Chains A and B, each alone.
Chain A
Amino acid sequence: MAVTNDSVGSAAAAGGRAGAGAASPMTAAEAVLARASGAAQVEPGQYVVAEIDAMMMHDIFAADVLGMLERVGIAALHDPGRATVVFDHMVPAPSVAAAEHQAEARRLLRHYGIGAFYEIGRGICHQVMVEEGRVAPGDLVVGTDSHSTTYGALGAAGCGIGSSEMAYALATGQLWFKVPETVLVVLDGRLHPRVSAKDLVLYLMREVGSAEAQYRSVEHAGAGTASLSLAERMTIANMGVEMGAKFSLFPAEGAPTMRPGARYAATHTVDLGALAPQVALPHHVENVVDVQDVAGLRIDQVFLGSCTNGRLEDLREAASILRGRTIAAGVRMIVTPASSLVYREAAREGLLADLAEAGAIVEGPGCGPCFGGHLGLLAPGERCLGTHNRNFKGRMGSPGAEIYLGSPSTAAATALVGAIADPRTVAEPVSTQEVAS
């Protein structure tokens, strides 16, 4: 649901949608919104009131949302079973204020009978939602977090909303949406070793970007989608919101990889095999270049983690470069596993030991320094290369700091060298088949 009604009018014309007849094939986003609003067919630009299948809140907003419901006198949620609360941002509580805020949220979620509550240490909300099966293919999901687009990896239409809208959704079970147009991204081929899903999504930021994807749904299709693991699809869907997209959808596991006859506002084809590692430069995610173009730039801090790249596959990727080596003097490396499952499995596989022995600090599961709340803020003039999803001015502390975004391999290579490095030039030959892909 975008406020604007006809700002994308030219694209609508390009899509040639005028006068579409009944029951013509729908895009993935249209199919979910039609199902959720009980309509046989929906058209881009149309407003629908849709039933929400799953609602997610994290510790920053849960107390605000539930507090608003209590304040205005809503006695009960429409269906507490659809709600999930995850404490992941300010964990463990870094201040008395955060602790009070969390205590209030715990009181309220008990009051409203929300059973699906995941305490500090369980992990980042989007990772936990998927690990715990709180999202299913075809679902319409909203979260008080913009990276709720991540659920598109499963074929669920997820998007972020604010606290007030979440309060409304919890009270009524519904929310209204503007049916978005869809941009189709056809993926061919396979990624090379040391080139990852993060590089693909950064490349999409550069090639498609908000100019084309703003207010729209991005739909990934083609044979290349089948070569991507769930972790990789989550990385890509996660950053859909950075393009301004409402949803970022993949075909559900086992579903056809194309939707013949569905109408798209634009189509892009990407050869996965032709991609090189990418880096987003400060202070915007669309400011993307090939890693070679910035190789050698000195870095103070490397961050491996977040809902974009804090999964087991990402830790394996980084550990395969850093195992048995030491990160460069003058660089500090922070590793934040995305969830307790990731943390435990990484410990069992020896990945945490590999990273710690190389000189990294391993933090507990959660958002870590990703959003600039705590656990690794930057001073003015410092540079960080991270595997997360945003590099806006001030995102990780001082507005005078610079944030670069890259893949886990690029992060590991950068930590090793102490300056931005192309992982294809520093890595040993890939020795384990486990390395992400």
Chain B
Amino acid sequence: MTNPGTTRFGGRAWLFGADISTDMLSPGQYVHDPLEVRLRHVLEPARPEFAAEVRPGDIVVAGPNFGCGSSRESAPQHLKDLGVVAVLADSLARIFARNAIAVGLPALSCPGVSAAVEDHQHVEVDIVAGEVTVGDGRLVLRADRIPPPMLDVLRHGGIEALLASLAAGGR
């Protein structure tokens, strides 16, 4: 998130299906390539145009089990690097959900979201209230709320920032 502490985000949706894996988000074969190379391949197997066309402020909307697969933190980090401000999925794979918060990218499980949102439609999400607003605002969906300890991590902007304040004795 651009401003640590922000809890409301609005942006253009990129729609994805079910079971988007960490191998699609961050393919293993580019693991030691420079960042700009790795970013070019984000979600390539699912939507080859995504990496080139995604804009800062966009929101990823997906079906169930988003982020399944490995524990690589580059999966949410790469989305964040590309400017994605939030991930909304019918459900999130467990490690991805943890890692997204850890890198400061709000990720919410919001059952039904992938059926309710059209590609490139405007969506808004309030991560504290657990509320997703679709299009003109007539459709509001309930998302699972982010538990307090994780909101605290998000407010710091991720675990690295939290550790920095810990190292500086500020906690």
The yes or no answer to B39 lying at the interface (CB within 8 A) is no
A5 to B91 Cα, complex, angstroms: 12
The B116-171 residues at the A interface (CB cut-off 8 A) are 144-147, 149-150, 158-160, 162-164, 166-168
A74 to B169 Cα, complex, angstroms: 10
Among B73, B146, B166, the residue within 8 A (CB) of A162 is B73
Query: What residue in chain B is nearest A242 (Cβ atoms)?
Result: B68
Q: Judging by beta carbons under 8 Å apart, are A3 and B163 in contact?
A: no
- Type the 1/0 row for A60-103, where 1 means its CB is closer than 8 Å to any CB of B: 11001000110111110000000000000010000101100100
Q: Judging by beta carbons under 8 Å apart, are A7 and B32 in contact?
A: no
Q: Judging by beta carbons under 8 Å apart, are A3 and B92 in contact?
A: yes
Query: What residue in chain B is nearest A372 (Cβ atoms)?
Result: B28
The A242-286 residues at the B interface (CB cut-off 8 A) are 244, 246, 284
Q: Judging by beta carbons under 8 Å apart, are B147 and A47 in contact?
A: yes
Q: Judging by beta carbons under 8 Å apart, are B99 and A164 in contact?
A: yes
Q: Judging by beta carbons under 8 Å apart, are A5 and B68 in contact?
A: no
A14 to B19 Cα, complex, angstroms: 26
Chain B residues lying within 8 Å of A7, measured Cβ to Cβ, are 91, 109, 111, 144
Q: Judging by beta carbons under 8 Å apart, are A146 and B32 in contact?
A: no
Q: A393-B45, A394-B24 in contact; A373/B163 too (CB < 8 A)?
A: no
Q: A284-B19, A372-B28 in contact; A162/B163 too (CB < 8 A)?
A: no
Q: Judging by beta carbons under 8 Å apart, are B97 and A372 in contact?
A: no
Chain B residues lying within 8 Å of A373, measured Cβ to Cβ, are 28-29, 31
Q: A3-B150, A4-B109 in contact; A246/B32 too (CB < 8 A)?
A: no
Chain B residues lying within 8 Å of A161, measured Cβ to Cβ, are 71, 95, 98-99
The yes or no answer to A2 lying at the interface (CB within 8 A) is yes
The A1-34 residues at the B interface (CB cut-off 8 A) are 1-7
Q: Judging by beta carbons under 8 Å apart, are B70 and A165 in contact?
A: no
Q: Judging by beta carbons under 8 Å apart, are B168 and A73 in contact?
A: yes
Chain B residues lying within 8 Å of A162, measured Cβ to Cβ, are 71-73, 95, 98-99, 102-103
Excluding A3-B109, A393-B45, 7 further A-B contacts by CB distance (< 8 Å) are: A68-B160, A68-B163, A373-B28, A373-B31, A377-B29, A393-B23, A394-B44
How many residues on B have C-beta within 8 angstroms of the other chain's C-beta atoms? 50
Query: What residue in chain B is nearest A160 (Cβ atoms)?
Result: B71
Chain B residues lying within 8 Å of A176, measured Cβ to Cβ, are 149
Q: Judging by beta carbons under 8 Å apart, are B70 and A3 in contact?
A: no
Q: Judging by beta carbons under 8 Å apart, are B146 and A244 in contact?
A: no
Show 22 residue pairs from A and B whose CB-CB distance is below 8 angstroms, ordered by the A residue. A2-B97, A4-B92, A7-B91, A7-B144, A61-B71, A72-B163, A73-B167, A146-B70, A159-B95, A162-B98, A164-B73, A164-B99, A165-B159, A168-B163, A172-B166, A178-B147, A244-B94, A284-B19, A372-B23, A372-B29, A373-B31, A393-B23
A3 to B145 Cα, complex, angstroms: 8
The yes or no answer to B27 lying at the interface (CB within 8 A) is yes
Q: Judging by beta carbons under 8 Å apart, are A165 and B27 in contact?
A: no
The yes or no answer to A163 lying at the interface (CB within 8 A) is yes
Chain B residues lying within 8 Å of A61, measured Cβ to Cβ, are 71-73
Min C-beta distance of B80 to chain A, whole Å: 12
Chain B residues lying within 8 Å of A214, measured Cβ to Cβ, are 65, 91, 93-94
A interface, how many residues as a size bin?
35 or more
A176 to B151 Cα, complex, angstroms: 13
- Type the 1/0 row for A295-331, where 1 means its CB is closer than 8 Å to any CB of B: 0000000000000000000000000000000000000
Q: Judging by beta carbons under 8 Å apart, are B32 and A3 in contact?
A: no
A74 to B146 Cα, complex, angstroms: 28
A180 to B162 Cα, complex, angstroms: 25
Min C-beta distance of A228 to chain B, whole Å: 25
The 9 A-B residue pairs whose C-beta atoms are closest, nearest first, are A162-B73, A162-B99, A164-B159, A160-B71, A97-B32, A3-B97, A4-B144, A164-B102, A73-B167
Query: What residue in chain B is nearest A145 (Cβ atoms)?
Result: B71
- Type the 1/0 row for B2-37, where 1 means its CB is closer than 8 Å to any CB of A: 000000000000000001010110011101110000
The yes or no answer to B101 lying at the interface (CB within 8 A) is yes
The yes or no answer to A144 lying at the interface (CB within 8 A) is yes
The B69-118 residues at the A interface (CB cut-off 8 A) are 69-73, 91-95, 97-103, 107-109, 111
The yes or no answer to A397 lying at the interface (CB within 8 A) is yes
Chain B residues lying within 8 Å of A203, measured Cβ to Cβ, are none
Chain A residues lying within 8 Å of B160, measured Cβ to Cβ, are 68, 71-72, 164, 167
A214 to B64 Cα, complex, angstroms: 11
Chain B residues lying within 8 Å of A6, measured Cβ to Cβ, are 144
Min C-beta distance of B4 to chain A, whole Å: 14
Chain A residues lying within 8 Å of B111, measured Cβ to Cβ, are 7
Min C-beta distance of A261 to chain B, whole Å: 27
Query: What residue in chain A is nearest B164 (Cβ atoms)?
Result: A72
Chain A residues lying within 8 Å of B69, measured Cβ to Cβ, are 146, 390, 392
Q: Judging by beta carbons under 8 Å apart, are B94 and A215 in contact?
A: yes
Query: What residue in chain B is nearest A95 (Cβ atoms)?
Result: B32
The yes or no answer to A343 lying at the interface (CB within 8 A) is no
Min C-beta distance of A312 to chain B, whole Å: 26
Query: What residue in chain A is nearest B106 (Cβ atoms)?
Result: A3
Chain B residues lying within 8 Å of A90, measured Cβ to Cβ, are 31-32
Q: Judging by beta carbons under 8 Å apart, are A210 and B65 in contact?
A: yes
Min C-beta distance of B135 to chain A, whole Å: 24
A47 to B97 Cα, complex, angstroms: 15
Q: Judging by beta carbons under 8 Å apart, are B98 and A3 in contact?
A: yes
Among A69, A178, A215, the residue within 8 A (CB) of B163 is A69
The yes or no answer to A395 lying at the interface (CB within 8 A) is yes
